[in-house]
Amino acid sequence: MFNRSKFFIGGLLIVAAVVYLIISSTQASAQYFLTVEEVNQRADEVLDRELRISGAVLGDTIDYDAQTLTLRFTIAHVPGDNKEIEARGGLAAVLNQAVNDPTLPRLQVVYNGVKPDLMRHEAQAIMTGKIGEDGVFYAEELLLKCPTKYEEAVPQQSEG
């Protein structure tokens, strides 16, 4: 029986190690999903947090400086909830409404890096980064989706 308990303790140690790894890594790298509206409402509390924000790109605001690789644009609020998006006629429709409704909250974004291929009007921008004191979102990572064109499993990737 001594042997069994040794195995048991060994197993427990591994389980404990895995649990520790998961918890500590989760804490170290959690990103909060927020909508543009939530960011605007709670700008103070989310100041230093790693955020993940999605919104509809306003084509007119895209300003790209190829010299410094600085990309500036503004996104409009889209709902964060999949069900709500479905209820409003799908992602394409929601993005279209978002860019045409000036009453919706908006957020300025600065991204340093290569301008992604899909960066255009009505695309959905999914970004991770932090809010600056100036209320501008500094994106470290920028992904784009264009549901109007492709609804299939299309990998789109571009990182800074």
Partner 1 sequence: MLANIGFGALLITAILSAYGIFAAVYGVIQKRARWVDSARNAMLLTFPLLTLAAVSLIILLVDNRFEIQYVASVTSRSMPTYLKITALWGGQQGSLLFWAWLMSAFTTAVTLRKWDRDREFLPWVIVVGLITLLFFLLLILLYENPFMKYWALPGGGIVGALFRPAGATLFTPADGSGLNPLLRHPGMIIHPPLLYLGFVAFVIPFSFAIAALITGRTDDRWIRLTRRWTLWAWLFLSLGLILGGRWAYDVLGWGGYWGWDPVEIAAFMPWLTGTAFLHSVMIQEKRGMLKHWNMVLIILTYALVIFGTFLTRSGVLSSVHAFAQSAIGPAFFGFIALTFIASLVLLAWRWSSLKAETQMTSMFSREALFLLNNLLFIGILIVCFWGVIFPLISELATGQKVTVGPPFYERATAPLFSGLLLLMGIAPLAAWRHSTVKTLGRAAWKPLVLSVLVVAGIFALGVRHWAALVGFWLVAFVTGVTLYEFYRGAMARHRKSGENLALAVVRLAGRNRRRYGGYIIHLGVVLMAIGIIGIEMFQQETQGTIPQGGELALGEYTIRYDRLDIFDAVDNRNVARATLSVFKNGEYVTELHPRRDFFYDSQQPMTIPGIRSTMEDDFYVLLVDWLPVSTAGATFKVYHNPLVNWLWLGGFVFILGTFLAAWPEKETEPVLRTVPAQARRLQAYGD
Residue given tokens 């410094």 in the structure block: 68
Verify binding: residue 118, partner 1, rule CB under 8 A.
yes
Verify binding: residue 59, partner 1, rule CB under 8 A.
no
Of 21-29, 55-63, 101-109, 131-139: span binding partner 1 (CB under 8 A): 21-29
Question: How do strand 51-57 and strand 70-77 relate by DSSP bridges?
Answer: antiparallel
- Rounded to 5°, the CA angle 60-143-42 comes to 75
Structural tokens at position 83: 């069900």
Residue given tokens 């004191």 in the structure block: 133
- Give the x-and-dash track for 122-151 against partner 1 (CB under 8 A): ----x-x------------x-x-x-x-xxx
- Rounded to 5°, the CA angle 136-90-145 comes to 50
Among positions 73-102, residues that touch partner 1 (CB under 8 A) are 80, 82, 85-86, 90-91
Residue given tokens 């690789």 in the structure block: 69
Site size for partner 1 (CB under 8 A):
53
Of 55-63, 98-106, 114-122, 129-137: span binding partner 1 (CB under 8 A): 114-122
Q: Which is nearer to partner 1, 26 or 103 (CB)?
A: 26
Position among 8, 24, 84, 101 found at the interface with partner 1 (CB under 8 A): 24
Sign of the four-CA dihedral 159, 109, 114, 120: positive
Q: Is there a contact between 82 and 54 (Cβ–Cβ < 8 Å)?
A: no
Verify binding: residue 28, partner 1, rule CB under 8 A.
yes
Q: What is the DSSP letter of 115?
A: P
Of 25-33, 55-63, 94-102, 103-111: span binding partner 1 (CB under 8 A): 25-33
Verify binding: residue 16, partner 1, rule CB under 8 A.
no
